Chains A and B, each alone.
Chain A
Amino acid sequence: MSDVEKAITRVHQEEWARVVAALTRRFGDLDIAEEAAAEAFAAAVERWPGDGVPPNPGAWLTTTANRRAIDRIRRESKREDKHREARTVYDDDPPEPLGAIDDDRLRLIFTCCHPALATEARLALTLRMVGGLTVAEIARAFLVTEAAVGQRITRAKAKIKAARIPYRVPSAEDLPARVSGVLAVLYLVFNEGYLATGPDSGPLRHDLTAEAIRLTRLIRALLPDDGEVAGLLALMLLTEARRPARVSAGGELVALDEQDRGSWDAALIAEGHRLVRERLAAAAAGVAPGRYQILAAINAVHTSARDIRDTDWSQVLALYDQLVRLDPSPIVALNRAVAVAELDGPEVALAAVDRLEPRLAGYHPYHATRADLLRRLGRSQESRAAYTRAIELAGNTAETAYLTRRRDQLG
């Protein structure tokens, strides 16, 4: 890649959301903003190799995009009435002060993740408008057709306009719920990258995990005092840190107890631990941690152990107990049982897992966890049946390979 190409890629990552957000604010229309921003970046690709990268690339892009938007509005004079009409919808007041940064990108993120939009629409819209991914890239990421992604985005934009979903940072009262909606979207993107589904998909999708981390870092910069934002970022970093050890050369998933801990990314772990310590200090000062912070703390315990045998399981269990109080879902109970197995033995854990059967019978980790506990109890035949069920339900190629090997190792 040439220096100019590198510069364009970097500027695209840094400036795309800013350009779209500023244009949306100015023109009151996501459609115009998206198109004009895309045209401005296309112009950069065309002109920068010859003219050189301008001294302030962000300003160049914003100016170019503004001109393109105005051109389009002039071209479609009918549009202009719509534009004036739409403009009044948008709140021209600066967002309520949240930390040090007042940024249109926050408005953009909250609009894209609005609870009145379907989850798939929020995902696609956020990746397009905030992340700057193309429709083709989003389609590849979620294994759906470009037409389907295009339609989701078009419909979402039409709903935002017709129903007047505001371009605004929510009020302080609504903020925690709305931030949690944004984080849920980013966590979905991350998880799809970390445990990609589908037979044709690679087991890990670094493009998706990296994008989720990049966007979460952005939210962290915009909402530096939000504990759950810090928690989710830490959780992603500590999970991503283990990526190099997670899939074997043969394409098989490597479980935590068999991973080469030396290949974990020390810089990501250090950054994740710093964030967890920051949240622990806040918790000590009386701020109750939310679920992402607790999950991050659990991952901090795992990534602190140089060897699986050094894992502080009682700490892990205490954190799961805390999480169960916050989120009494059967999935949390299942993960808690893994820690119980280490402390109280597989028999106690199996009894806890079996109680979850009515609610988790279609969830492959339930069967994989049972299979492992039954194997440790020497109940090979039942273990084999549980592995088989887990293999049938699992969607990830590396995980299927791992489960198959474990099943075949049963005597």
Chain B
Amino acid sequence: MQYLVSVIDDKSNPGRTDRQPAISAFNERLIAEGHWVFAGGLADTTTATVVDNRGEQAVFSDGPFVESKEYLAGVWVWEAPDLDVALGLATEASRVCDRKIEVRPFL
């Protein structure tokens, strides 16, 4: 079972910026324990571009699809046997990243 694990930051109350060494160590553990599928940090939301080609012509627009105080700062994809295992890891991840974490199952 795979879960999308989103790291959520808050513009008005951002998490600490010195977390990279701890996150790397945590990733090593995810790999060693067989949970790691993918991980990636994301550049600032202002660097996003939205593409809409549902109409006659593709429209490109600058910025994220939704402006909000809270935003997606990075994602993981984890392999876990059930939600309890995923939530246990997410509990640690939140501490390691100093940010909120959302766990959402893939279909």
Contacts and interface: CB of A to CB of B under 8 A. Distances in A.
Interface string B64-101: 00000000000000000111100110000000000000
B82 A89 contact: yes
A164 B87 contact: no
Nearest to B84: A166
Contacts of B105: 162-164
A373 B103 CA distance: 49
B82 A166 contact: yes
B107 interface: yes
Contacts of B81: 164, 166
A384 interface: no
Interface string A85-116: 00001000000000000000000000000111
Interface residues of A, number: 12
A170 interface: yes
A165 B107 contact: no
A168 interface: yes
B42 interface: no
Contacts of A168: 82, 84
A164 B103 CA distance: 12
A239 B58 CA distance: 67
Interface of A: prevailing SS: loop
A115 to B, nearest CB: 8
B1 interface: yes
B90 to A, nearest CB: 10
Interface in A165-215: 165-166, 168, 170, 174
A134 to B, nearest CB: 28
A174 B1 CA distance: 21
A115 B105 CA distance: 16
B87 A116 contact: yes
A133 to B, nearest CB: 26
A402 B87 CA distance: 47
Contacts of B84: 165-166, 168, 170, 174
Given A166-B83, A166-B84, 18 more contacts: A89-B1, A89-B82, A114-B83, A116-B83, A162-B105, A162-B107, A163-B83, A163-B104, A163-B105, A164-B81, A164-B82, A164-B83, A164-B105, A165-B83, A166-B81, A166-B82, A168-B84, A174-B84
16 contacts: A89-B1, A114-B83, A164-B1, A164-B82, A164-B83, A164-B105, A165-B82, A165-B84, A166-B81, A166-B82, A166-B83, A166-B84, A168-B82, A168-B84, A170-B84, A174-B84
